Chain A
Amino acid sequence: MENKTSLKIRNLVKYFHEPETFQVLKGVSFEVKKGEFLSIVGKSGSGKSTLLYVLSTMDTDYEGTLQINGDLLTGKTQNQLAAFRNEHIGFVFQFHYLLPEFSCLQNVMLPALKLGKYSTKEIEHKAYESLRLLDIEGQALKSANKLSGGQQQRVAIARALINNPSIIMTDEPTGNLDSKNTEAVLDIFRGLAKENGQTIICVTHDKDFANNTDRTIEMADGLII
């Protein structure tokens, strides 16, 4: 189990064309094992966020190959990738993007409702569990835009967990959290990696956070150092 490959990239190259053509990723290759808690660090502009969006399958404009759970995802259609993301990838964005018109509970439930594997009752139950895990259960029925930044971020993490994805990707997951909550999130991620064998990839500025992960990849100028 420990040695199964969860995610593998080979020679990723990516260009930005606006405002002028610029090579952001200059041939990045690595593998992530199943159940590994990986952090990617680097200065801004080093290409770490860009790399994460390629890994998340949302960005398809790259050269090289991306494999998750042994499936080659390079070259698949947007609709196939959307279905894949829904089932296998949980994503937490830098700015805790929730749907403001929905309650926290609904926000957490939506990806599972889309997946349609379980009944609404079961999904609701799981969503409450997720929210409890992040200690934000009390806000479940509040509308998402009534919450503070830190609370929203925790709801977003709960949402990323709802479908039991094999990989959870996060961009600055603790950017809006105080040290106590940062600690809590770290514990949760570590637990998910250890006990459920879920792979976790975090992009972060936070050196302390990175030091607490299984492995840290440092990037500079589109390359792994």
Chain B
Amino acid sequence: MAKSVNIQIASVHLTSKFWQTFVAIMGVTFGVSMYIFMNSFMNGVNKTQDDLAFSALSHIRIYNQDNNHSYNPIESEYDNSQTVFNIHNRKSIQYTSGIKNSYGIVSLVEKQEEVVAVARQINFSVFFRSGSKKINGRVSGIELEQEDKLFKSSEIVTQGNWNNLQTHKSGIIIGKLLAEDLGLQVNSSINVLTSDGVSRNYIIVGIFESSLKDIDKTKAYLNITAARQLIGENSDYASDILINIKDRDNTVPVVKKLGLLIPFQIESWQEANEQLVAGASLRNVIAIAVSFTILLVAGFGIYNIMNMTINEKIKEIAILKATGFSGKDIKSIFLSQAGAIGLLGGFLGVILGYLISLLINQIPFNVASLETLPIYFRVQDFVLAVVFGVLTTLIAGYLPSRKAAKVDPVTIIRG
């Protein structure tokens, strides 16, 4: 009963000073909506960035790199001896790189429950030649179906068809800019020269256009069997095994688990692309800093308004106390005003933030794969925005309400 009286009094206070209440609510609304907009925008940017990056990047990559062996036979043999030795022009032996028995590893990886897709690749540098023109580039020998599962590669083929690689033994799919540089179209012939001096002609069965210019300029796809033939490797050879997992932010345990089973280097995308991770977290820090600043300013506004209100109503507080309202009641009257401002402001802020975000999402922005400014909504941002909005107002309202609770009725009533 007594609680509802306090709320009744609080609501009369709020409604009798409409503009003051309105301004306080707008402060929270603005803070909350900015929080939502900033975070949704940053999420959109991060998501776009990730989508771009993961169009050519797998979550986990297994490869076998020729280590720089530090083994020195003479030093280890004559350690601590008085012998003077001197080696000129020391050379490393080429150890086998790449994975010879890739099938065994693929079947091992596929057994892991977190794994969504696995694809083998053979990557190497070549020269693309057409007529007298010669361009440095890279060839990827790929398994068509698995590759498409990982990167949706078939979607970026703009001319010809991704599956043509399956049927044409000597087919190749090349980047759009590479094709333009060499003056080639679909069905033209292209010569590929490997670093070992092997040269072969292929027929262009497709041209792709990705969102990364660098790739369009230098890359070509071969069927993995054709690639093995070109570099003279066995039919189970792969240079990389690429893995996508269910939750790409959770690579660490998977890498750890695979590390126990597989004797090759295993690298998560986070390790390979620290700049991506750093960029995303920096953007998040900026978004949080900006929105908190706005909420803080709104908080000060509310603190001010509450303080003013309490100074204006000091006589009424004295009367309430004289007629039997305790300090606790007074505090709850003013705290519930702050709470109401926070909740209402938060609610309006959610709506406003959503509308602003939708509006921003309409602004044209034709760069890379984007058409408009990116926005990505997450439920947690909305919830947190309201929580922070209400918390800020409660904190801002607490100090003035404590002051109100301490008003001494005698000094006020005696004048």
A binding-site residues for B, Cβ under 8 Å: 49, 53, 56, 58-59, 78-79, 82-87, 91, 93-95, 97-102, 106, 110-111, 113-116, 159
Contacts and interface: CB of A to CB of B under 8 A. Distances in A.
Given A102-B12, A114-B2, A116-B1, A85 B414 contact: no
Given A58-B410, A110-B9, A78 B326 contact: yes
Contacts of B301: none
A101 B326 contact: no
A111 B410 CA distance: 18
With most chain A CB atoms within 10 A of its CB, the pick from B2, B5, B318, B415 is B5
Contacts of B16: 101
Interface string B383-398: 0000000000000000
Nearest to B415: A95
B409 A58 contact: yes
A72 B267 CA distance: 79
B2 A82 contact: no
Contacts of A97: 315-316, 318-319, 322, 413
B311 to A, nearest CB: 15
Given A49-B414, A93-B413, A101 B328 contact: no
Interface residues of B, number: 28
Given A53-B410, A113-B5, A101 B324 contact: no
B326 A82 contact: yes
Contacts of B13: 101
B49 interface: no
Q: Which 7 A-B pairs have the closest CB atoms?
A: A86-B324, A116-B1, A82-B326, A113-B5, A101-B16, A79-B326, A111-B323
B8 interface: yes
Contacts of B8: 113
B5 A114 contact: yes
Contact of B324 (A53, A82, A93): A82
B228 interface: no
A85 B327 contact: no
A87 B410 CA distance: 19
B202 interface: no
Nearest to B413: A93
A49 B315 CA distance: 18
B227 to A, nearest CB: 83
A215 B326 CA distance: 33
A102 B320 CA distance: 12
Interface string B401-414: 00000000110011
A171 B38 CA distance: 59
With most chain A CB atoms within 10 A of its CB, the pick from B9, B325, B326, B329 is B326
Interface string B302-317: 0000000000000110
Interface string B1-36: 110110011001100100000000000000000000
B321 A58 contact: yes
22 contacts: A49-B414, A58-B410, A58-B413, A78-B327, A79-B326, A79-B328, A82-B321, A83-B324, A84-B324, A86-B324, A87-B324, A93-B322, A93-B413, A94-B413, A97-B316, A99-B320, A100-B316, A101-B12, A110-B323, A114-B5, A114-B324, A159-B323
Given A49-B414, A99-B316, A116 B323 contact: no
Given A58-B410, A93-B319, A97-B319, 5 more contacts: A56-B322, A58-B321, A83-B326, A93-B322, A101-B316
A125 to B, nearest CB: 16
A114 B329 contact: yes
A78 B321 CA distance: 10
A115 B13 CA distance: 21
Contacts of B415: 95
A98 B318 CA distance: 11
Nearest to B328: A79
B407 to A, nearest CB: 11
Contacts of A78: 326-327
A94 B412 CA distance: 12
Interface string B117-156: 0000000000000000000000000000000000000000
Given A49-B414, A110-B9, A85 B2 contact: no
Contact of A110 (B1, B5, B318, B409): B5
Given A53-B414, A78-B327, A114-B329, A58 B2 contact: no
Nearest to A79: B326
Contacts of A84: 324
B258 to A, nearest CB: 65
Contacts of A98: 319
Contacts of A102: 12
A95 B16 CA distance: 23
A112 B5 CA distance: 10
A59 B5 contact: no
A56 B319 CA distance: 13
